[in-house]
């Protein structure tokens, strides 16, 4: 189970969290945790923005930063970040640009990665709304 964190955390009033992050192979199967080496992939990040105050984020902008640590040897890769604008709705997804997998110089070489997605909002919400999630993705 991924580690899910977010703030504000005031159920019924305003509850923001990063619910999930999955890999989506370009032209491939449904999002999951396994990537076939050599295929391009995107990271699909699911956000929850619930409660009656959640509407204040509609139209706000933010960034998702991705950090992947290969568990076999602790090599850390900082993948390019993804900018987004918060749409209306409680459950929203943000899809990154395509990354590469496979032998170097690919973004992610073959291995098992602990991926951390860090969500930051731009002003004026940067001091009130934030979240992160960690999950495992395997490149085979």
Tokens of 27: 């032209």
For residues 116-132, average pLDDT: 95
Tell me how far apart the alpha carbons of residues 7 and 131 are, in angstroms, rounded to a whole number.
6
| Cα separations in angstroms, 71 against 4, 38, 137 | 20, 20, 10
> Can you list the domains of the chain with their CATH numbers?
3-139 (2.70.50.30)
Q: Residue 26's pLDDT band (boundaries 50, 70, 90)?
A: confident
- Going by their DSSP bridges, the two strands 130-139 and 111-121 should be labelled as antiparallel
Contact yes or no for 68/79 (Cβ under 8 A)? yes
Question: Which pLDDT band holds residue 97 (cuts at 50, 70, 90)?
Answer: very high
CB 43 within 8 A of CB 22: yes
Report percent pLDDT > 90 for the chain.
Answer: 81
- Say what the pLDDT of residue 42 is: 95
- Tokens 């199967």 -> residue: 29
| pLDDT, tens digit (0-9, with 9 covering 90-100), for 52-77 | 999 999 999 999 999 999 999 999 99
Rounded to an integer, what distance in angstroms lies between the CA atom of residue 78 and that of residue 81? 8
DSSP state of 12: T
pLDDT above 90 (res 29): no
């Amino acid at each position: 189970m991924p580690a899910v964190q977010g703030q504000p955390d005031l159920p019924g009033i305003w509850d923001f969290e990063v619910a999930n992050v999955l890999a989506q192979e370009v032209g491939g199967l449904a999002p999951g945790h396994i990537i076939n080496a050599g295929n391009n992939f995107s990271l699909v990040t699911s956000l929850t923005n619930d409660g009656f105050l959640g509407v204040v984020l509609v139209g706000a902008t933010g960034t998702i930063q991705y950090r992947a640590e290969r568990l076999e040897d602790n090599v850390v890769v900082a993948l390019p970040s993804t900018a987004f604008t918060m749409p209306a709705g409680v459950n929203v997804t943000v899809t990154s640009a395509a990354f590469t997998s496979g032998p170097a110089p690919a973004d992610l070489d073959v291995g098992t990665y602990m991926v951390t997605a860090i969500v930051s909002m731009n002003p004026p919400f940067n001091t009130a709304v934030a979240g992160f999630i960690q999950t495992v993705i395997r490149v085979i």
